[in-house]
């Protein structure tokens, strides 16, 4: 899954900190694996664009995690919500299928 997140550039530091300390661990505990977090270095100053590349078993894995809502009750997720609500301008999710490349497959 590719998550493209537009963030208020003035709140980008807070957003990245919450992402690294709270949200990535919470989602990885659900079985997702972050392959990389990329931050726009050139382009418009506002908004900052963050791209996360996640791997999960399949689309059903996404549904299981989202419907379960277990992550939403995690204190790390709840602590992150004020930052997310104030920093995130837009989030777009794209689901992709692995075909080839240098990344090792997480799920056989």
Local confidence pLDDT in tens for the 108 residues of the chain: 999 999 999 999 999 999 999 999 999 999 999 999 999 888 777 899 999 999 998 888 988 888 888 899 999 999 999 999 999 999 999 998 877 776 666 555
Ramachandran region of residue 69, left (φ > 0), alpha (ψ -120 to 50) or beta?
left
CA distance 73 to 79: 10
The reported pLDDT for the residue numbered 99 is 78
The reported pLDDT for the residue numbered 14 is 97
Q: Tokens 């899954």 label which residue?
A: 1
Nearest to 15 by CA among 69, 88, 107: 88
The reported pLDDT for the residue numbered 100 is 73
CATH class as words, domain 2-94: alpha beta
Q: How many helices (H) and strands (E) does the chain have?
A: 4, 4
Q: Record the pTM.
A: 0.84
């Amino acid at each position: 899954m590719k998550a493209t997140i537009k963030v208020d550039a003035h709140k980008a530091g807070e957003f990245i900190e919450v992402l690294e300390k709270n949200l990535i661990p919470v989602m990885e505990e659900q079985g997702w694996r972050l392959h990389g977090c990329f931050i726009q270095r050139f382009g418009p100053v506002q908004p900052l664009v963050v791209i996360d590349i996640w791997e999960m078993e399949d689309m059903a894995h996404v549904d299981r995690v989202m419907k379960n809502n277990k992550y939403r009750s995690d204190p790390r997720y709840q602590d992150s919500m004020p930052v997310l609500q104030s920093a995130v301008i837009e989030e777009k999710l794209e689901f992709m299928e692995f075909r080839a490349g240098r990344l090792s497959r997480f799920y056989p």
